[in-house]
Amino acid sequence: MSKAYLSIENVGVTFQARGAVSEVLRGVELQVGQGEFVSIIGHSGCGKSTLLNVVAGLVPLTTGAVILDRAAVEQPGPERAVVFQNHSLLPWLSVYENVRLAVDQVFKATKSRAERDAWTMHNLNLVQMAHARDKRPSEISGGMKQRVGIARALAMEPKVLLLDEPFGALDALTRANLQDSVMEIHAKLGNTVLMITHDVDEAVLLSDRIVMMTNGPAATIGEVLNVGLPRPRRRLEVDVAPAYVAARHAVVEFLHEKAPGVRVAAA
């Protein structure tokens, strides 16, 4: 890999509450290249979301550092956009207005009103949601809401896109459609993506590398797997490819034998 674009260096996170100390993460080391798609997988409670929130600047570090494009991450910022499992759209705003809000926050000083309108529509088109621009979140499906959430994140032009189980609350067919859309967007934009997932097949299908976390407390990275599947990837072709089968087996083996815990999603 070339010089790391995102560097997670000896990261540790400890929480204190009512006199009790809980060490969630210890000594996490990870380097992500620009344009790389990396998934983080592990059992519930292993600190996956905590690690993502550290990169987002939402959780303070106890030890270590996070460096993005040679700058230390110390607080939230538009260069790190997060898409949560819950879409987090504002219910009183339309689809267009939810995305435009982010565009105005980031580009009000650098883009004209017309440019911001065009950029908002560009990102809605990217996720195939321009047709619903005037609808409220209550008027669209769960999968459509997630598409709007992804459009809003991409509209900020982040250096890294952070996905926290973005498809976890969706039915299987909607989830598969959105996974395919994310692969297409990643191929088109070449953006850097860090994704949390419980789903082994999802991790193998989407990722260049899969980071496998040990169980908590004091969780860390147990293994990192290079998926080794060429892009573009087509679902009906890759799921019988030897590299796909081998990668899936390696992840399941780690989760069930090297870091045993609750059952993970593996069809």
Average pLDDT over residues 9-23: 90
CA distances from 102 to 40, 154, 190 (A): 27, 10, 21
Helix axes 142-155, 113-126, angle to 10 degrees: 140
> Quick check: 167 pLDDT over 80?
yes
What would the DSSP string read from start to end of 204-260? HHH-SEEEEEPPSSSB-EEEEEE----SS--HHHHTTSHHHHHHHHHHHHIIIIIS-
Nearest to 206 by CA among 233, 226, 236, 166: 233
Q: Quick one: pLDDT at residue 264?
A: 47
For 1-79+162-170+194-267, which CATH superfamily applies?
A: P-loop containing nucleotide triphosphate hydrolases (3.40.50.300)
The pLDDT score that the predictor gives to residue 259 is 67
Confidence of residue 267 (pLDDT cuts 50, 70, 90): very low
Percent of the chain at pLDDT exceeding 90: 79
As a whole-number percent, the residues of the chain with pLDDT over 70 amount to: 95
For 79-117, how does the pLDDT look when each residue is reduced to its tens digit (9 = 90+)?
999 998 887 899 999 999 999 999 999 999 999 999 999
Range name among 21-35, 131-145, 184-198, 227-241 with the lowest pLDDT average: 227-241
* Arithmetic mean of pLDDT over the chain: 92
Alpha-carbon gap, residue 178 to 146, rounded angstroms: 8
Positive or negative torsion for Cα 199, 200, 201, 204 = positive
pLDDT tier at 261, thresholds 50, 70, 90: low
The whole-angstrom separation of Cα 220 and Cα 13 is 11
Helix residue ranges, H only, the chain: 48-56, 95-107, 113-126, 142-155, 172-189, 200-206, 235-238, 242-253
Q: What is residue 45's predicted lDDT score, i.e. its pLDDT?
A: 85
* Beta partners for residue 11, in sequence order: 28
The answer to whether residue 126 scores a pLDDT higher than 90 is yes
Question: What integer pLDDT is reported at residue 88 of this predicted model?
Answer: 86
Instruction: Check pLDDT > 50 for residue 1.
Output: no
pLDDT (mean) for 237-265: 82
170-197 pLDDT, tens digit each: 888 999 999 999 999 999 999 999 999 9
pTM (2 d.p.) = 0.92
Contact indicator for 25, 11 with CB cutoff of 8 Å: yes
